Structure 1
Amino acid sequence: MPLSTPWSRRLGLSAPIVNAPMGGAAGGMLAAAVSRAGGLGMIGMGSSATAAALEAELAHVAGLERPFGIGLVHWVAVNQPDLFELALSAGPALLSVSFGDDWSWVRRAHDAGVPVAAQVGDLAGALAAADAGVDVVVARGAEGGGHGQPRVGTLPLLAEVLDEVDLPVLAAGGVASARGLAAVLAAGAAGAWVGTAFAVCPEATTAPGARAALLAAPGDATTTTRAFDVALQYPWPATLPERVLRNEFVDRFDGREQTIDADARAALSGAVAAADYRIAPVNAGQGVGMVRESRSAAEVIDTLCTGAAHLLRRWAP
């Protein structure tokens, strides 16, 4: 079912859907599948990203005759300049660099002819991104999985940013169903930035145990925490916790991160290696309760767009 926005048409997309560049889930295979299905597939480079890892994922989009994008974490890109340079040289249709206060990368990307986006969690962040010259703002609401500023819900944030920023705005956080997609498009979003619904696709690099945990989780199973970042010694700022499925490690250490000792770190590292998700982290947004089966990226896009188009026609005056 055709569904588009001015922004998606300019990019040559047939669906106003972007897969969130989730570290550990959104590899090149998922990006290629999303792009082939008419969306914008994003390769996600998370906390442990390296240039070598990005190069391996780029192999999946080599020769792809559809636009694709790349998502980086700002502090990781700063610490690894070769990662940022490789991302630019790949010629993505969109480069997202999020969660930083230094905007010098925007000019460097534009000088290379690469359009850019940044995720924001409040209006101040959106205004700063716009002033820095980004081409697209991603309004990431508190419902979103993974790292972000859990300050404002997706719909209030989207409405506020649309009122104040004269740029295409993508809605992120909790968009996991046709109704969610229809709602953000009706509000004026240029598209939806979808994470959890794609994390369970067979093309995602999500580990089988994590995929099973996502499929079994109800909508109220998530929480925001810094426990895993502290234990794994990732330098995420305290203002950017991650939304995960609640598990034994979260229950023990959330809000008590100062008690995480060497034994706890060793237990977590062992659980990550063993894919034991009673302890290891699983990123998930609050839309997880609407994700009940593993379907291909193409099926996810078709279901979202067909349902949203039907609803938008019903709501039209």
Structure 2
Amino acid sequence: MGGVAGGRLAAAVTAAGGLGMVGMGSTATAASLASELAALGTVTRFGIGLVDWVIRDQPDLFEAALAARPTMLSVSFGTDLSWVDRAHAAGTLAVTQVYDADTARRAHDAGVDLLVARGAEGGGHGEIRLATLPLLDVVLDAVPGPVLAAGGIGSPRSLAAVLAAGAAGAWLGTCLSACPEALTGESSRQALIEAAGTDTVTTRVFDVGQRLDWPERFPSRVLRNAFTGRWAGHEDALAADLRASAELAAGIAAGDQRLAPVDAGQGVGMLIDSRPAGVLIEELCAGAQRLLSRWA
């Protein structure tokens, strides 16, 4: 979660028994990675998440990530898996998101250690192919390795459901975005808490408006706002409208939720307040464990 999952959130997730990820998004640099790694404090078990097309443009970012010796390196949103061997040579586990059986097999054949089956419900960028549970079914049938489920998991029930379906664990995003340790701005945090699960939309308008080089097949699930309402279906016009881009940039700088993007999956409706990451993870895991025991 670029711009959300910094070093402080990663440290809190690891302290709670998970594996915290430092998310480096589409505007990441080696310098911004260094800043977030410093925020980890004394934590030595962590992961780093990178965007494939960003590290192609900024190889120093990839080098800096390897040099940090993370427990796990996640690279997604691309087809070139040559980075996997370099991660292994550095003693780091390789992880990537997959969206169907074919991408799962290719990743497994390339030596990826852990696959993340990211369903269409998930917040932020991803291919809109299958919902989380149908995707988990086909990926588990396609590959023998461990698979994490991602997309719409934000309650003990949804966590228990993917574990019961065979996932080795869950890759959490939106439910952690409102935590006080996240990099989320206050206006965005409040928007997440107030949103319902039906308030999200999948769109490319923020990428187009910010001139970001996201491939078209990876739209982003965000909270619906005035900007998505105005420009959805008019991406070509938006790409040529410098005034709209300037308006968007100003809205982002000001934290204006009528304009600024807020990544959110369909599980956002389960957010009711801003709880520390450790409290949230304990509640999720304890609740899921009770449900699994009841179902056994």
Short-chain TM bin: over 0.9
Q: Which runs of 5+ in 1 are unaligned?
A: 1-21
Letter in 2 for 1:267: E
Corresponding residue SS for 1:61: coil
The residue number in structure 2 matching 1:296 is 276
Corresponding residue SS for 2:198: coil
The two structures have a TM-score, normalised by structure 2, of: 0.98
In the TM superposition, what are the counterparts of 1:186-265 in structure 2 within 5 Å?
186-260=164-238, 261-265=241-245
Shift of 1:244: 0.3
What is the aligned-residue identity percentage?
A: 60
Letter in 2 for 1:55: A
Distance in 2 separating the partners of 1:64 and 1:226: 36
Q: Does 1:149 align with 2:127?
A: yes
Letter in 2 for 1:297: A
Shift of 1:150: 1.0
Shift of 1:63: 2.5
Shift of 1:61: 2.1
Q: Does 1:277 align with 2:257?
A: yes
1:131 pairs, out of 84, 109, 121, with 109
Q: Does 1:166 align with 2:144?
A: yes
Q: Does 1:37 align with 2:20?
A: no
In the TM superposition, what are the counterparts of 1:11-50 in structure 2 within 5 Å?
22-50=1-29
1:313 pairs, out of 280, 293, 296, with 293
The residue number in structure 2 matching 1:64 is 43
The residue number in structure 1 matching 2:95 is 117
Q: Does 1:286 align with 2:246?
A: no
Shift of 1:168: 0.7
Q: Does 1:91 align with 2:69?
A: yes
- The alignment of Structure 1 onto Structure 2 pairs a total of residues equal to 294
The residue number in structure 1 matching 2:31 is 52
Query: 1:223-246 CA distances to partner (integer Å, 9 max, x unpaired)?
Result: 100001111111111100000000
Letter in 2 for 1:285: G
Q: Which runs of 5+ in 2 are unaligned?
A: none
Corresponding residue SS for 2:55: helix
Letter in 2 for 1:68: F
Query: 1:248-307 CA distances to partner (integer Å, 9 max, x unpaired)?
Result: 000011111112101111110110111101111000000001111110000011000010
Query: 1:157-199 CA distances to partner (integer Å, 9 max, x unpaired)?
Result: 0011011111110000000000010000001101100101100
Shift of 1:62: 4.2
Distance in 2 separating the partners of 1:158 and 1:34: 24
Corresponding residue SS for 1:43: strand
Distance in 1 separating the partners of 2:125 and 2:31: 23
Query: 1:39-64 CA distances to partner (integer Å, 9 max, x unpaired)?
Result: 00000000100000000000122431
The two structures have a TM-score, normalised by structure 1, of: 0.92
Corresponding residue SS for 2:197: coil
Shift of 1:314: 0.4
Letter in 1 for 2:7: G
Distance in 2 separating the partners of 1:292 and 1:62: 29
Letter in 2 for 1:212: Q
Shift of 1:208: 0.4
Distance in 2 separating the partners of 1:127 and 1:55: 33
Say if 2:11 and 2:41, in contact at 8 Å, map to a contact too: no
Corresponding residue SS for 1:143: coil
